[in-house]
């Protein structure tokens, strides 16, 4: 490029919602809850405890993260 041609700046990346991680945590936590507590498939019985524990971790984490993000963006 020569010096007379204006330089084009690349477009900024698209804005992403601050709640994407929270939604993913909640979605996976709810899926684990369904798979661990509500699913009656006998083939999945050996994974039930793992899904129960994971749902007990992910759902509260998603709720905690939601309020942290809400508080952070309320200050701005």
pLDDT tens digits, 10-47? 888 778 899 999 999 999 999 999 999 999 899 988 99
What is the longest distance spanned by two Cα atoms in the chain? 72
What whole-number distance in Å separates Cα of residue 76 and Cα of residue 66? Answer: 16
Q: Give the start-to-end residue ranges of the domains of the chain.
A: 20-75
Q: In the prediction, which pLDDT does 13 show?
A: 79
What whole-number distance in Å separates Cα of residue 7 and Cα of residue 73? Answer: 34
Q: In the prediction, which pLDDT does 75 show?
A: 74
The single-letter DSSP state of residue 41 is -
Higher pLDDT, 16 or 7: 16
């Amino acid at each position: 490029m020569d010096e007379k041609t204006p330089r084009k700046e690349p477009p900024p990346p698209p804005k992403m919602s601050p709640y994407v991680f929270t939604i993913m945590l909640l979605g996976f936590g709810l899926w684990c809850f369904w798979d661990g507590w509500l699913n009656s498939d006998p083939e999945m019985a050996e994974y039930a405890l793992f899904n129960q524990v994971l749902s007990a971790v992910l759902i509260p984490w998603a709720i905690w993260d939601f309020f942290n993000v809400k508080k952070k963006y309320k200050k701005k």
